[in-house]
Each structure stands twice: as structure tokens, then as C-alpha cells.
Amino acid sequence: MTRRFLPRMVEENQGHIINMGSTAGIYAYAGAAVYAATKAAVKFLSDGIRIDTIEKNIKVSTIQPGIVETDFSQVRFHGDKERADTVYKIISSMLAVKKWSMLEKLLFIMKNKAIVLTFTEMVMESPAT
């Protein structure tokens, strides 16, 4: 997508690229080597585009949340919903971010056009329950 839209952003001297990474791209964990490597690549792609467009009015944001409660664990555990739910039960009171909370943070980044936001190592905390 970036390859398609970036030339026009450069031509118009404006735009905002938001890439979704993961803290797994910074801190790998067991059984997720490929996932961690691809998320690390997202961060470095964003960094490179940011460097290449530094003199343009183009923002590049990388959101790297920790554990977000989505259907990803169900995919990871090949449809085993009970096993996937266990992941979030163990840590939900401490760390898991609800997907709607992620959406709020994404909307914040998109709405604040006057502020240069670089979220290369953004930490998101869930509200106290």
C-alpha cells in the first residue's frame, strides 16, 4: 500500500502513514520467531520511510502495542478458543488492551495533524479495572 500511495504524498507534500507493529518486534517470545521478525521489519520500514521523507510534510507513525485482545491467539492456536482465551485470562487484569482501546489510540494519532507523533516504541496500558 505504501508503495502505491507514497509517491503521491511526496508530490503533494503531505500525508500520514500509520503502520501497525507489535512489541514482539522489539522483544521476541517463544514460538513466535517469524511473527517477531515481521513486526521488527514493520518498525524498520517505518523508520526508513520517515528518514527518506524527513524534508516533506509526511508523518510516519508506528504503533507497537503489547498484548491486545483480538482473535490473533485463536489463529495462533489453530482455532482452539479455550487455549486462546487462557492467554488473555492470565494477563487481562494487568496488561491486555481491548481492541476498542487500540482504535481510540489510532484515532488520536489520525486527528492530531498539527502534532508530530512518532510511536516507534509506544507503550499502551489498559485502564485499571
Q: What is the pLDDT of residue 82?
A: 85
The one-letter amino acid code at 29 reads: Y
Q: Which of 105, 13, 1 is nearest to 59 (CA)?
A: 13
Q: How confident is the model at residue 117 (pLDDT cuts 50, 70, 90)?
A: very low
* Mode of pairing for the β-strands spanning 15-20 and 58-63: parallel
Q: How confident is the model at residue 118 (pLDDT cuts 50, 70, 90)?
A: very low
Q: How confident is the model at residue 115 (pLDDT cuts 50, 70, 90)?
A: very low
Query: Which residues does 71 contact at the CB level (< 8 Å), separation at least 6?
Result: 84
Q: What is the pLDDT of residues 81-108, one digit of tens each?
A: 887 777 666 665 555 455 556 667 777 7
User: Which range among 4-18, 26-40, 100-114 shows the weakest confidence by mean pLDDT?
Assistant: 100-114
* Catalytic site positions: 35, 39
Q: What is the pLDDT of residue 113?
A: 58
Quick check: 48 pLDDT over 80?
Answer: yes
Q: What is the pLDDT of residue 93?
A: 53
Quick check: 125 pLDDT over 80?
Answer: no
Q: What is the pLDDT of residue 8?
A: 94
Quick check: 12 pLDDT over 90?
Answer: yes
DSSP string, 3-19: HHHHHHHHHHT-EEEEE
User: Would you state the cell numbers that stand for residue 32, as one nine-digit string?
Assistant: 513466535
Is residue 123 helix, strand or coil?
A: coil
